[in-house]
Amino acid sequence: MSVLDILLVTFIFFILLYSLRDTQAMVLLRGMIFLVVALVLLTTLVELPAFSWLIRSILPALLLAIPVIFAPEIRRALERLGRAGTVTLIQAATQSPGEEMQKAVHSVVQATARLSARQHGALIVIQRLDSLEQYIETGVQMRAHVTPELLLQIFYPDTPLHDGAVIIAQGRVVAAACVMPLSASGVLNRSPERQMGLRHRAALGISEVSDAVSVVVSEQSGSISISHAGRMIRRIDPERLENILTAFFRPEATTPQRIWLQRFFPYLFRKDD
């Protein structure tokens, strides 16, 4: 039983640290650990009765402040846990027509390659299991078949729909000019480049709150990026993009066990997907 107890505690700490990776909360956590260690050493090595009493008095308040400080990360972890339990949605998604989705993926890759060559900015979000209805409602409803020509026209500069994201679901373009949530993580802040603007932050943002896959074309450099589960792969070519999207939307990739694991351990599937 002691081994099981240790394993459970280790697993909990692993989940907590993994959930906080690449976020501003990790910086706060390191600062708090440094502060606690410094205070413990100071009160242990030097006899300071008044200072020790002050630390003991404010420590309970600091513990109560932890849920407030880490509220966004706690909420994100609970949302991920809730999405992992949607067995009904998973079973429904596995019955979606795979052939139409594969055609949509091929059209997205073709359009992305041409948009990249022309340096036309674009953000394409492909729905998986989690519903994107609240974001679809922010855009212009379309319900059209996915074709390279349609995507090229949508993202042509200065057209009415070129700002915002295109959302694809069940092999169809369901809406354009949609507003996506912006990422609050530190992934883009640590990038050596500063060319990543709102489109990249929106691509990361939607991947943090859902299991959707987003494809971004940079307006400045024409580079192609793909984002999923709060991670972004940059500077990929169209061939690699097609391989990644095909891996995400092939029939065996939508099995309940695989998707459940992807929600909590996306790095396990990084080589495949």
Q: How many domains does the chain have?
A: 2
Per DSSP, helices labelled H in the chain are: 2-19, 24-45, 49-69, 71-84, 87-93, 98-118, 133-136, 148-154, 198-209, 238-249, 256-264
Would you call 78 helix, strand, or coil by DSSP?
Answer: helix
Question: Does residue 164 lie in a domain region?
Answer: yes
Clarify whether residues 105 and 205 are in a common domain: yes
3-state SS, residue 244: helix
Residue with tokens 């994100």: 76
Q: How confident is the model at residue 32 (pLDDT cuts 50, 70, 90)?
A: confident
What percentage of residues in the chain have a pLDDT greater than 70? 71
* CATH classification of the domain holding 153: 3.40.1700.10
Write the DSSP assignment of 133-164 as a string of letters.
Answer: HHHHTTSEEEEEE--HHHHHHHTSTTSTTSSS
Can you give the pLDDT at residue 90? 42
Q: 125-159: per-residue pLDDT in tens?
A: 999 888 899 999 999 999 899 999 999 999 999 89
**Six-digit token string for 168:** 């694809």
Q: Does residue 201 sit in the same domain as residue 237?
A: yes
d(CA 86, CA 71): 23
Residue 234 inside a domain? The answer is yes
Same domain, 139 and 200: yes
Q: Would you say residue 82 lies in a domain?
A: no
Residue 91 has pLDDT above 50, yes or no: no
Cα distances (Å, whole numbers) of residue 217 to 2, 117, 184, 201: 52, 10, 20, 12
pTM of the model: 0.65
Q: Which domain holds residue 170?
A: 87-269
